[in-house]
Amino acid sequence: MTSLREPPKKPRTSPVPIPGMAAKSKNSSVQIGLVGTILVHVLILLIGPYLLRLEHGGVPVPLEQQSDPFEIELGPELSEEEKLQEPDPFKFVETNPDAPDNAPDSTDAFSDRNQQVAQEEESEDMSGDRPVLEGQTKIESERIVSGQLAPIIPPAPSAPEISEEDPTDAVEESTQAQLEQIPLSGFEDDASEGSDGLGTKATQLAEGSAVVDEYVEGIKDAPIVDGPTSPTPRINPNVPRPRPSLQKRARPAIFSQSNVGTSNIGPIGLDARWSSYGQYLQELIETVQIQWDRILIQSKVYPKSGSKVIVSFILDDEGNITRILGVDGSSNDLAKQNCVSAIADRAPYGEWTEDMKSVLGEEQQMTFTFYYQ
């Protein structure tokens, strides 16, 4: 009897690994991770300056470095052909705030006030359209006056030192230096000897006379004080104080050399006509100047003297800085960031008037050049 045999089962085989396959998968993971790390660092370098803000320390710079000038330029630079086709050049100038209001006969410049070109003294050549100025030849500037926007506050007088052993010593010394005060004398009759003469009433003020009821002993030339320990002296009518020097309220400026002057003699000025846009620009420029001075005072490192930064940006009709077109110059990155911050930090600068919108449209390109002196 025959029995049927099942054919022998073939053993199951697992797939044979291909040599180098595992190593290849590990290398791919390493390469992907390396590429991802590089991309992340590149994105940080590109986006970081716009997300992070630099903070400044509290080390003040010298007073002469607290105010540096900058110049402005409106709109993009025109080619020679475009300049010839342009009937009315659009030029903003900063005038002298102390000159009288006087509209010029003809000018292609505008500002925050009417002003006519003039200079204080005569010059050899007076056939030009701007005053004679001594300045630099490598920098083109329309500025004619320089000053300070923020007033310089002198330090307050220190209080008198009081001895620790006996605090009454300073009081006794102040009382000893009290000013002698003599009551004002009355009128004296000076009658004539003759019967038909004229009589007069005259008074002679003694030295040290004051509006007091009784005579007060003291030194004739001693300073007058409010109290025994007061550090601030009162006004002494016999010893007038020196007249304070008046500081011109204007932005610090760099002057361009001008050898040809004008025939008008008077307070220094430029030909310019008032416009609402000129007034708006002047306030914007002064705001940027004050903010830039504040940043420089708080900055830890002052940029190299003689360097400059050029910032181009777009200002819209709402007074916002919509975008920074470019930052260039010979200063370092921190100096460039300071200039951009001075422009952008105080925005918006206010809405444009209707006549400004009709002339300028919805936005205007500007270029500010900052000079570190």
Ranges of each domain in the chain: 63-149+250-371
pLDDT greater than 60 at residue 225: no
More confident residue, 21 or 219: 219
The per-residue pLDDT for 301 is 76
Residue 45: which pLDDT band, with cuts at 50, 70 and 90?
A: confident
Residue 299 — very low, low, confident or very high, per pLDDT cuts 50/70/90? confident
> Which has more pLDDT, 273 or 175?
273
The pLDDT, as a whole number, for residue 38 is 84
Range ranked top by mean pLDDT from 67-76, 144-153, 279-288, 300-309: 279-288
For the chain, give the mean pLDDT: 74
Nearest to 342 by CA among 286, 281, 305, 295: 295
Question: For tokens 């053993």, what's the residue?
Answer: 11
More confident residue, 160 or 108: 108
Residue 64's pLDDT is what? 42
Q: Model-level pTM?
A: 0.56
Q: What is the pLDDT of residues 64-73, one digit of tens each?
A: 444 566 665 6
Mean pLDDT over 259-280 rounds to 92
pLDDT at 208: 58
Radius of gyration of the chain (CA): 39
Mean pLDDT, range 350-364, rounded to an integer: 90
Tokens of 112: 């925050």
Q: Give me the pLDDT at residue 27, please.
A: 66
d(CA 336, CA 295): 12
* Of 92 and 214, the one with more pLDDT: 92
Rounded to whole angstroms, how far apart are CA atoms 50 and 48?
Answer: 5
- Helix, strand, coil shares of the chain, percent, nearest 5, are 25, 20, 60
Most confident of 18-22, 169-173, 241-245, 316-320: 316-320
Nearest Cα to Cα of residue 75 among 67, 83, 63? 83
Q: Is the pLDDT of residue 49 over 70?
A: no
- Residues 189-207: pLDDT tens digits? 555 565 565 556 555 655 6
Predicted pLDDT of residue 73: 61
288-299 as b/e, with b when 16 or more CB fall inside 10 Å? bbbbbbbbbbeb
